[in-house]
Structure 1
Amino acid sequence: MFKQLRNKFLILNLIIISILMLAAFLSIYGLTYTNVYRDIDRELHRISEFSRKKDGGPGQPPLDRDLNSPPPPPNRSVSFVLITDGEGTLVHIASIFDMDNTFYESAKEAALSRDANTGTFKMDGTYWAFMTRPHFDGYNKIIFLDVTSQLGILTNLIYTFLAVALIMLIFIFFISRFFANRSIKPIKEAFDKQKQFIADVSHELKTPLTVINTNVDVLLSNRQESINDQVKWLHYIKSETERMTRLTNDLLYLAQIDYSNMKMIYSNFDFSEAAEDVLLTMEAVIFENNISLQYNIEPNVFLYGNREQLQQVIMILLDNAIKYTNNQGYIDFSLKKSHHQVILSITNTGEGISVEHIGRIFDRFYRTDASRSRAGGGYGLGLAIAKAIIEQHKGKISAKSVVSQSTTFSIELPCSSC
């Protein structure tokens, strides 16, 4: 599917570029064509005027042949003039070349056969332009100009364009293919993540549904017993239902953050005070797990954002630290201002996170220890929610770890009072 999409994108890109190149060439060719024929027409008129001044005025009889006619001024193309009577019979030749009369007769016939006052024709491998003008006493004058070099410019322009177009299309093909692959890559990654997300949700829902279904079967097979005798099965059902409720709530919350057009209510608030409130809430849990807490909160750190969401982030990170801190370990909580930024960091001792996991811990449903997470009721969505909230507040969240020593989560947020 993605290969077909890439190929369509590539073909469309090549078609658009080809059309633009063709339009550019036609414009250049049209301008060049117009300029070339304008120069040819100007030269024919110049030769005609030069010949008129030399021939003299009306009443002068035409000569049979004038081989000694002075040529046009230098740096001009080869030219000659023929004069015909009213019947089209050649009566006078003005040329600096001693050519056979057959050549001039052929040129005259080619010009007269065009049935136009101007035009071009090819004779003996040479391109000639001509212009027919009235002379005197019913005679006509036909001016001929060698335009092989001028028309050669147009021919060379076509060949040059074809060669350049071929080279450019080959070059553009590979460039377009490179950028097409890069353009398709995020779409493919999003599609793969969506597939993985559906698979993960299905997997997470499968376990509680299986437990619920099993316990319901047990209840149905013991219909004669009282509710008091069946209470443990009901507790199992309730427990799994609560886990499913937490999962669906987390998923709905993530969907609301990612795709909802509803804006959260932002305000300036004391982030130091909000962080202390969360610490006070979690302090008892920390000590119950035989964990030491060290904290350093700089006072009067103000942020512009949603207080409840950012408190939820702190709650998620503290809960994660408590789960993975070793026995008699410690948690270090720090909040300070630095260079117009608010820096919050939470460090806990423990097993740490290996390099292959550290880059994926913010992915949805990703857990470094799946069995331990399930035992604690987690689904691997907490850090994904925390990242989504921080990014919504134009901040950054990152993690670093030393295996078998410690793990540190850091948050950078823009400060509203710095």
Structure 2
Amino acid sequence: MFRELRLKLTLINVGVMALLLLLFIIGTFFVMQVQIFNQSQQLMQIIASEAGSGSVNNTREHDKHLAKYFYLKTDESGKITENSSALPLPLDQLTPLVEKAINSPNPKGEVELHDEAYTFLKVPLKQTPGFVITFVDLERDREILRELLLTLSVGGLVCLGLSYYGSRFMADRAMAPIKSSWQRQQDFVADASHELRTPLTVVQVNLELVKGNSDETVASQSKWLDNSLLEMKRMSKLVDDLLFLARADSQQQTLEMKQFPLNTALREVIESFKPLAETHEILLECSLNSEGMYYGDENRIKQLMVILLDNALKYTPSGGQVSLSLQNWGTLAEITVSDTGEGIDQEHLAKIFERFYRVDQARSQQTEGTGLGLAIADWIIRSHHGRIKVSSSPGKGTTFVVSLPK
């Protein structure tokens, strides 16, 4: 699939480049053709004017122009009365050329003689009856145009070849994030399927046990029903998190921005975790002395704190400590969540915000969670134009530092 897409992108780029080169070649050719034609017309005007006044300087004009030219003067009957010094053919062989020009209804045009083309300009003499006819050989002009067209064509083909390889390179660069996104989507679907399969299997097994003991009371089978209810809650949480991230990816997840006291919001969150901390014999401390208003989505900031505190309590053993602090640094509000838990190896720190990423698969199976919390936290922080840093030492604990612009 990606190979076909890369080829398609390459061919589209090459096609666009070929069209642009074609337009450039055609435009350049016609511009040069018009300029060369105008130069020939100007040359004939000059020669006709000077021939009429008898002051033609052949040497000067030959040095100035590459085109071969000559002029002839005739009486009103078409008989040649005067000619320039340089003639391409004997004078008697030029008579048919003069007759064609004399008989032409237009004062200028093109005539051919012995497979050679000439452009002419016919101007009446002022003092005596007759004409001065200036001829310019078109072969030199056509040769210049042929060489120009050949040069442009060869250059265009070379550029087209280079554009093919350049387009392949750019297509590979463009495909890199697409491949990455595709792989992440595939992994996301596989991980989501795996996470959903476990609670569904548990629910199915427990309900089959209940159904197999249909004669027993509900109270006697509460164990199986409680297991099913617990897994349903876990699955509901997982679906909610998946829906949240799906809306975030499609930019449909909106924020309700408003001014609110950040320290009050954090205090409300930490108060809700105190019973859980006491149950697990974990010391929960907070330092929220900094006051001030913060502009953001209060509910999402609370959700962010819930995720960080919940993770800290999950991975901190009994007798450990979890602390939350808030400090103001100019235009930044800095929130720090630290624990004295198990810690995280350095190799995992850069990946913990990926969806469904598990530092320890065996440990994660024993701990409730969807594996999406830190991915949601990362989105909330980025949506508030903030940043998060994490430092950890295995066996000593982990510290998350969230910086939010006020």
TM-score (norm: length of structure 1):
0.83
Instruction: Give how far 1:271 is off.
Output: 0.7
Counterpart residue identity of residue 130, structure 1: F
Cα contact 2:25–2:153 (8 A) shared by 1: no
For these two proteins, the number of residue pairs brought into alignment is: 400
Whether the aligned pair in 2 keeps the contact of 1:257 and 1:389 (CA below 8 Å) is no
Deviation at 1:267, TM superposition (A): 1.4
Measured in 2, the distance between the counterparts of 1:35 and 1:355 equals 71
Matched, 1:213 2:172: no
Q: Which moved more, 1:249-258 or 1:28-37?
A: 249-258
Task: Return 156-165 or 381-390, whichever deviates more.
Answer: 156-165
Name the CA shift for 1:231/1:4 in 2 (closer, same or farther; >3 Å): same
Checking the alignment, whether the CA contact within 8 Å between 1:269 and 1:303 is kept in structure 2 is: yes
CA distance in structure 2 between the aligned counterparts of 1:108 and 1:383, rounded to whole angstroms: 91
In structure 2, the partner of 1:118 is 109
Q: Which residue of 2 aligns with 1:71?
A: 58
Alpha-carbon distance, 1:291 to partner: 3.3
- Corresponding letter in the other structure for 1:101: P
Q: What residue is the counterpart of 2:292 in the other structure?
A: 301
More moved, 94-103 vs 219-228: 94-103
Partner of 1:201: 192
* Residue range with higher mean Cα deviation, 363-372 or 347-356: 347-356
Structure 2 counterpart of 1:66: none
Does structure 1 residue 15 correspond to structure 2 residue 26?
no
User: Equivalents in 2 of 1:182, 1:316: separation in Å?
Assistant: 36
2:54 is matched with which residue? 54
SS class of match (2:54): helix
Check whether the contact 1:111–1:130 (CA below 8 A) recurs between aligned residues.
Answer: no
Q: Which is worse superposed, 16-25 or 198-207?
A: 16-25
**1:329–1:349 CA contact under 8 A, matched in 2:** yes
Whether 1:364 aligns to 2:355 is yes
**Would you say the 8 A contact 1:335–1:345 is kept in 2?**
yes
> Structure 1 residues 298, 18: CA separation in 2 closer, same or farther (over 3 Å shift)?
farther
Which runs of 5 or more residues in structure 2 are unaligned?
none
Matched, 1:94 2:83: yes
- Aligned partners of 1:321 and 1:347 also within 8 Å: yes
- State the alpha-carbon separation in 2 of the partners of residues 357 and 134 from structure 1: 95
Shift of residue 310, structure 1, vs aligned partner: 0.6
1:82 aligns with 2:72: yes
CA RMSD of aligned residues (A): 3.3
The 8 Å contact of residues 291 and 330 in structure 1, kept in 2 or not, is answered as yes
Displacement of 1:25 in angstroms is: 3.5
The one-letter code sitting in structure 2 at the alignment partner of 1:198 is V
AA at the equivalent of 2:165: F
Kept in 2: contact 1:70–1:96 (CA 8 A): no
**Structure 1 position 174, deviation (Å):** 3.1
Matches within 5 A, 1:208-357: 208-259=199-250, 261=252, 263-357=254-348
Relative distance call for 1:48 and 1:409 in structure 2 (3 A) is same
Distance 1:2 1:109 in 2: 70
Tell me what 1:61 maps to: none
Q: Does 1:374 align with 2:362?
A: no
Counterparts in 2 of 1:98 and 1:363: CA distance versus 1, 3 Å: closer
Once residues 335 and 101 of structure 2 are traced to their aligned partners in structure 1, the CA distance between those partners, rounded to angstroms, is 94
What one-letter code is carried by the residue in structure 2 that aligns with 1:264? L
Question: 1:400 deviation in Å?
Answer: 2.9
* Whole-angstrom CA distance in 2 between matches of 1:111 and 1:181: 64
Q: Structure 1's 110 and 375: CA in aligned 2 closer, same or farther, altered over 3 A?
A: farther
Q: 1:104 to 1:357 in 2, by over 3 A?
A: farther
Q: Match for residue 33 of structure 1?
A: 33
Report the AA paired with residue 14 of structure 1.
V
The answer to whether 1:186 aligns with 2:177 is yes
Unaligned segments of structure 1, at least 5 residues? 56-68
Contact 1:79 1:145 in 2 (8 A): yes
Work out which of the residue numbers 93, 97, 114 in structure 2 matches 1:108: 97
Query: What CA distance in whole angstroms lies between the structure 2 residues aligned with 1:176 and 1:400?
Result: 42
Query: In structure 2, what is the Cα distance between the partners aligned to 1:150 and 1:102?
Result: 24
- Give the superposition deviation at 1:345: 1.9
Q: Please give the per-residue CA displacement for 1:99-139, whole angstroms capped at 9, x wherever unaligned.
A: 65279539828966996742276979x87433344569885
Q: Which residue of 2 aligns with 1:65?
A: none
**AA in 1 matched with 2:40:** I
Same amino acid, percent of matched pairs: 30
Conserved in 2, the CA contact under 8 Å of 1:110 and 1:121?
no
* Distance in 1 separating the partners of 2:54 and 2:299: 101
Could you give the per-residue CA deviations for residues 119-173 of structure 1, whole angstroms, max 9, x where no partner exists? 276979x874333445698855432224555444433432332233233333333
Cα contact 1:81–1:142 (8 A) shared by 2: yes
Among 404, 410, 415, the alignment partner of 2:401 is: 410
What secondary structure is seen at the aligned counterpart in 2 of 1:97? coil
